[in-house]
Each structure stands twice: as structure tokens, then as C-alpha cells.
Amino acid sequence: MTTMRIAGAQIHNNVGDIAGNVQQVAEAMQWAEQQEADVLVVPELALTGYPPADLVLHEAFIDDADAALAQLAQQSGRTTSIVSTIERVPPQRLWDSRIRRVGIVAKLLCGGEVRGTYQKRLLPTYGIFDEGKYIAPGNHPGAVWRIGDTIVGISICEDIGADEGPPEAQSIAGAQILLVPNASPYYRGRAEDRLANVRAIAVRNGLPVVYLNFFGGQDDVVFDGGSLVVDADGQLIHRCAEFVEERFCVDVPVAPRRPVAESVISVHTRPLPKRPTPSEPAVAPHRDELAGVWQALVLGTRDFARKNGFPGIVLGLSGGIDSAITAAVATDALGPENVLAIGMPTNEIQDEAQRHAEAVARHLGIGYTAIPLPPIEQALTRALQPELNRSTTAETTRGLEAWSRAAVLSAFADERGVLILATGNKSELSIGVAAHGDLIGGFAPLRDCPKTLLYKLAEWRNARGQVIPEPVLTKPPTAQAAEDIELPSYDVLDPIVERYLEQEARLEDLIAEGFDPATVEWVLRRVDDAEFLRRQTPIGVRVTRTAFNQDRRMPISNAWRPHRRR
């Protein structure tokens, strides 16, 4: 059976760091030459990082990417390196009145030259993606390339997302193998979805598929790696580990020769040499779901801190589960020596909670300092007393507490140049019960984690070294205790929110599914009303397909109030 030797480099996603990215790719190219690989594949936009957002509007940025590509082309040898970048393309006007001048491309580098260009056809413009805003689509989805005696198709990320798209066109044009550079961010269950899709593409087109992905955090998404090679029957040949750097080199059996379209472009016509198999392909075990979530939280937090120049982290530690998990994530991300937890006892926080906070800090080995809030609150209350005529409400008191905490954390952050982590979770954000001051920070790792998931994560993390004292996991959550209204339990709240955000669920649907009608009404109304609060919160790690402010974005000013039973 004819094989093609494919090298892959699952590299880190560094947006804007063209010089660093060139170095990553250049090293992978050298290594691939040493492996006598026929082809090297790297992720989508390996030269610019993903997503480049408004960077593609800067002419100087495009120039820098062009120069970087030229440099890599010069370094290319016998291996054909498929390197993705942005470049200027013939201007096009398509779905609106504006002209797009930049494409996402995969360049075929070989023998010191650029030997070909594939331009991405399908441009994701949904959820977190907005490529339609910046990018021009390619007009040759059926382009195929001769590399030695093998015909190769290249599709970029979204190109393989449709039932009928570039992979089908390339298969028809004669491709014997499909190479797919990707920038595919994590959500819970993404690895399974990805494997199923790649298998379907392979089987449908009778082609092996090589799928390369980034790893690393970029603002509010994390790329989880997990690059794949499947054969033409959809069998998994190789899988990279998730969330880490990895290179692989695999001899992939290509599909039998088919009639080839006349439009095939030759990269080179040297026959591919026969060589001993480089190494056994390996299928890295897929992490279980909780391990994946944890790793995403850690990597997202680490890379956000690192890329934005923060040497350490400060956060408030209350003795509750949210801040305990946030502290554990911070510790796993930056190391205990770079995390400082601040306990901020109030008159209302019992000694027990503070003991729990201290225990968490001790277990993690992080710094811990208690700053008593009452003197600060008293100064605030005294200063405000003459003016706040009415008896101070519980909300005002909680607000003053929250701002006092923000002021304390901010002082530490300013003094030490560290990043403040906010500790809010998705359940709170969904119904808007968090005080605004509690959402202050540069990053909120747990903002896309529902409370029910946090309990599971706590158990998962405790099983790998006790972090969170048992009583913290069993005592009633603070939000429920503190709110003036009676909250539904998280076991009820979280599934309603999830079903509502997954779009299909209407009020009637949820009631038909057995949820209490009054509860459903209350939750749906709160979800819509809380957009005002949510828009003012820091970004955090996307963990689901329905992250607020990313996948889901309601108008803040929104008069639609459908949540009455009819």
C-alpha cells in the first residue's frame, strides 16, 4: 500500500507574535526534513495566531506576515510544508457592500519556493467566530496538488464543517489524502465532536485525513490540541495529547489513485522515496471530561496572565467553593509561589468560613493574608450615613462589601503588578445574582462553568490532592443564602439555563419536560434581564458551546418579555 510520510506540529497559538511563530514553524520544518517527511502540516494561521481580529486591518501586519512567509519559504527543502497565514487576495465584494482584501491561506513551501496557495473557502461567522467580517473566501475549493506521485487536498478548519464543501470537491478532483490545518477551540465534548466529524469526512470521501490543531489560551478561548490522523476507513491512526505541544511523524496509507482533474498543480514530481517507518503512531488517550475542563481552565488562565505580562495572581478567598476552585486553578496555572489569596472577613462571615479559606490556601501552598473588611465598611458607612436617608438595604450592604473587596484586591494588584481573578460562576451570571463588585478583575476563569459542574470539578481536583475541605462542598451555597429572593436549587437552575441557551427550549418546552412552570418563568426572565450585568464582567475561559458574551449575546436594552405562560 502506498503511504505518504506526514509530519505534524501541534504548536502554541501566539496571536500577533509573528517572529515567535516563525521560529516555531521553522523548527518544525527542520525536524520534518530530518524525519524525511513528505509533508509537514501546522495549524491554521500558524504565522499570525488565531483569531487575529482587527490585526488583519493593519497593512503593516500583513506586510510582516508576508515577510515571515518568504523567510520560511527560503528555508524549505525536500519536505513540502503547508504553512497557513493571511495574505492580500484579489478584492471581492460578496455578502455586503464592503470589499474584503485578505484571505486565510495555506501556502505550500518546497525547495526554497512557494509552490502553491490554497485559500480557505468557508468562513465561520457564528458563535465566537467572525471571519466573515474580515476575510475573503477562496474561489477554488476543488484545488488539488501533486506532491511526488500523490494527489493532495487541503481544507482549512471550517472547510470541513459542511455536508458538501472543499473536501468533497477535492476528492472529486482526485485527492488521495486530505490535510487540514485548524484553529479549533475547546468546549466540553469538542474532542468527541471533532473525531466524529473527521471520521465522517474520511469515510464519505474515501480519504485519510490529517487534522492539525493549536493548543493554548487566547483571551476567552482555549485551543485544546488533540490533532488527529484517521485512515480512509475512519480508523484513528494517531492522536496528539490534548493541551500540550506535540510533534508526530506517521506514514499514512493514501487512497488509491483516481482520475485526476486537469487543474492539478504540481508542487514537485520527484517520486516519494521508500524509507523505514519512522516511529509507531500513537493514539493519546482522550482525557475524561472533567480533566479536560480543568486543563482548559488552567491553560486559559496561565496564558492570559503570561501573554498580558502578569507575573502572578491575586484573588479573594471566601471559604466557598467558587473561590477555592479559582485558587486551585490559579495555582496549577502559575505555581503556588505566584498566587496570593486574600481573606476578607466581614462581621457576617463566620470563623468557620475563614478557617476553610485558610485550609485551602494551606493545601495549595499559596500565600494567604486576611484583611478585615469591617473597618473599611465602617468608614464607608460613616461617610455615607448622612446621605443615604433610607435604612440601608441588604443590597447596599452587600454592594459596599463587594466594592471594599475590589478596592483591597486592586491595591494588591497595583502594588505587585499581578492579575486579579474574579471568582464568579456561570449560574450566578446567568441569573444576575452576583454583586457587581464581586465581578471585578482582569479574568474570571469560572465564568462559563455552571455551579453543578463546579461541584464535580471540586471532587475531581480533591481526588488528586485534597484542596477543598469537605464541609465547603456540602454547605449551602452563599448566593442562595444571601439573596433576598429564593433561588431554585442549582440542580434545577443549571439544566433550565442550559436548555434555554441551547436555543430549542421555549417556556412551553421546559414545562412539558417537567420543570416547575413558575421556576421556569423566573429563570428565563432573569437570564434575559441579567445581560446588563454580564456585559460588565471580565472575560474568562469558554467551556461550553453557549458562553455568555461569546456564543450568546442578547441586546442589553431588550423589551421582549415572553416568559409568561399563555
- Using the rule CB under 8 A, give the single segment among 32-40, 74-82, 483-491, 503-511 that binds a second copy: 503-511
Phi, psi for 323 (deg, rounded to 5): -70, -30
Residues 54-73 that bind a second copy (CB under 8 A): 54-55, 57-61, 64
Is residue 369 close enough to count as binding a second copy by CB under 8 A? yes
Report the alpha-carbon distance of residue 116 to residue 138 in Å, rounded.
Answer: 14
Is residue 45 close enough to count as binding a second copy by CB under 8 A? no
Which of 162, 196, 512, 518: binder of a second copy (CB under 8 A)?
162
Cβ closer to a second copy: 137 or 181? 137
Beta-strand relationship, 339-343 and 246-253: unpaired
Is residue 196 close enough to count as binding a second copy by CB under 8 A? no
- Using the rule CB under 8 A, give the single segment among 47-55, 111-119, 236-244, 459-467 that binds a second copy: 47-55
> Between 451-462 and 490-501, two packed helices, what is the crossing angle to 10 degrees?
120
Interface with a second copy: number of residues (CB under 8 A): 103
Cβ closer to a second copy: 340 or 467? 340
- Shortest CB 311 distance to a second copy, Å: 15
- Shortest CB 536 distance to a second copy, Å: 6
Cβ closer to a second copy: 98 or 270? 98
Which of 51, 167, 320, 488: binder of a second copy (CB under 8 A)?
51
3-state class (DSSP) for residue 552: strand
Residues 71-130 that bind a second copy (CB under 8 A): 93-98, 122-126, 129-130
Question: What are the Cα distances from residue 72, in Å, to 8, 20, 62, 75, 476?
Answer: 16, 13, 15, 5, 58
Which of 482, 506, 511, 519: binder of a second copy (CB under 8 A)?
506
Instruction: Establish whether the linkage from the previous residue to 51 is cis, with ω within 30° of 0.
Output: yes
Residues 198-227 that bind a second copy (CB under 8 A): 217-219
Is residue 384 close enough to count as binding a second copy by CB under 8 A? yes
Strands (E), 54-176: 80-93, 99-110, 113-119, 144-147, 150-154
Active site residues: 44, 120, 157
3-state class (DSSP) for residue 51: coil
Cβ closer to a second copy: 33 or 551? 551
Is residue 304 close enough to count as binding a second copy by CB under 8 A? yes
Is residue 30 close enough to count as binding a second copy by CB under 8 A? no
Question: What are the Cα distances from residue 292, in Å, to 28, 285, 364?
Answer: 26, 12, 21
| Sheet order of strands, 367-370 included | 367-370, 339-343, 313-316, 419-420
- Using the rule CB under 8 A, give the single segment among 35-43, 277-285, 392-400, 482-490 that binds a second copy: 392-400
Which of 249, 408, 527, 541: binder of a second copy (CB under 8 A)?
408
Beta-strand relationship, 367-370 and 339-343: parallel
- Shortest CB 171 distance to a second copy, Å: 17
- Using the rule CB under 8 A, give the single segment among 226-234, 260-268, 390-398, 482-490 that binds a second copy: 390-398
Which of 323, 404, 423, 544: binder of a second copy (CB under 8 A)?
404
Which of 193, 233, 395, 513: binder of a second copy (CB under 8 A)?
395
Is residue 236 close enough to count as binding a second copy by CB under 8 A? no
Cβ closer to a second copy: 257 or 535? 535
Residues 435-474 that bind a second copy (CB under 8 A): 436-437, 440, 442
SS (H, E, C) 286-347: CCCHHHHHHHHHHHHHHHHHHHCCCCCEEEECCCCHHHHHHHHHHHHHHCHHHEEEEECCCC
Cβ closer to a second copy: 132 or 253? 132
Report the alpha-carbon distance of residue 361 to residue 343 in Å, rounded.
Answer: 10
Which of 77, 111, 142, 161: binder of a second copy (CB under 8 A)?
161
Q: For residue 417, give the DSSP letter.
A: T
Instruction: Give DSSP secondary structure letters for 482-549.
Output: H-SSPPPPHHHHHHHHHHHHTS---HHHHHHTT--HHHHHHHHHHHHHTHHHHTTSPP----SSS-BT
Cβ closer to a second copy: 33 or 245? 245
* Residue from 66, 448, 45, 441 nearest 222 by CA: 448
Residues 323-352 that bind a second copy (CB under 8 A): none
Contact, 543 vs 293, CB < 8 A? yes
Question: What are the Cα distances from residue 33, in Å, to 8, 75, 81, 278?
Answer: 12, 11, 10, 12
Cβ closer to a second copy: 38 or 303? 303
Which residues does residue 369 pair with via DSSP β-bridges, in sequence order? 342
Cell 463587594, residue located: 402
Question: What are the Cα distances from residue 203, in Å, to 3, 132, 171, 196, 235?
Answer: 18, 29, 11, 11, 9
Which of 352, 414, 470, 491: binder of a second copy (CB under 8 A)?
414
String of contacts with a second copy for each residue 281-300, x by CB under 8 A: --------------------
Report the alpha-carbon distance of residue 112 to residue 93 in Å, rounded.
Answer: 34
Cβ closer to a second copy: 274 or 564? 564
Cβ closer to a second copy: 336 or 372? 372
Which residues does residue 225 pair with via DSSP β-bridges, in sequence order? 242
Is residue 565 close enough to count as binding a second copy by CB under 8 A? no
* Residue from 522, 505, 493 nearest 428 by CA: 493
3-state class (DSSP) for residue 182: coil
- Using the rule CB under 8 A, give the single segment among 29-37, 38-46, 237-245, 402-410 that binds a second copy: 402-410
String of contacts with a second copy for each residue 534-563, x by CB under 8 A: -xx-xx------------xxxxxxxxxxx-
Is residue 430 close enough to count as binding a second copy by CB under 8 A? no
Which of 53, 70, 283, 518: binder of a second copy (CB under 8 A)?
53
